[in-house]
Amino acid sequence: MPLTLALVHHPVVNKRGETVVSSITNFDIHDIARSCRTYGLDRYFLVTPTEPQQWLARRIVRHWLEGWGAEYNSNRGEALQLIEVLATLDDVRRRCIELWGRPPRFAGTSARAQGGVLALEELRAMLEQPEEVTCLVFGTGWGLHPDLLRGLDFLLEPILGAGDYNHLSVRAAVAIYLDRLRGHVSKTP
């Protein structure tokens, strides 16, 4: 049942397909934490191996939990308290075992995913299994490195819009995935 999300900053690729470490982005912290809180996720893992970037992320989170940000807008802290800053997906695995007694199933996302992907309706049903822990994995930059993607438990279908343009921001993609997995879509009466 526990559902978590990991935003990965390495290994990801840049526009030329090179492996890079991407930077922490303030809007990724806020927008994605707010979406995670809205859809009842249990943790939002910010994954970067770079210590100064880890420090920065923790500093921003602390501002909204304990600094004057907490007083200015307490809703924000409610969302940002879901965040844990970790170095790698192995750390995410260890942390999930600590929290829930078992490793997560890692579900990768990619705008370019083809073949052998899991339909979101299928994952939505799987999320009801009470004992399973799931971690949705999103990449920054131009997306997760292919080697990392291959090592995950499964790959989710990409979000399709109205045409063949598939350059959603990671913040928008997260919002849409969470809504499809956990949203209560009303029906016409």
- Among residues 18, 55, 59, 73, the one that binds a copy of itself under rule CB under 8 A: 73
Binding flag, residue 14, a copy of itself (CB under 8 A) = no
42: contact with a copy of itself by CB under 8 A: no
52 binds a copy of itself (CB under 8 A): no
Q: Which of 27, 55, 59, 151 touches a copy of itself (CB under 8 A)?
A: 27
Cβ nearer to a copy of itself, comparing 68 with 165:
165
Measured in degrees and rounded to the nearest 5, phi and psi for residue 13 equal -110, 155
DSSP 31-63: HHHHHHHHTT-SEEEEE---HHHHHHHHHHHHH
180 counts as binding a copy of itself under rule CB under 8 A: yes
Report helix, strand or coil for 29: helix
Binding site for a copy of itself (CB under 8 A): 15, 27, 30-31, 34-35, 37-40, 73, 75-76, 78-79, 119-122, 125, 157, 159-163, 165-169, 171-176, 178-180, 182-189
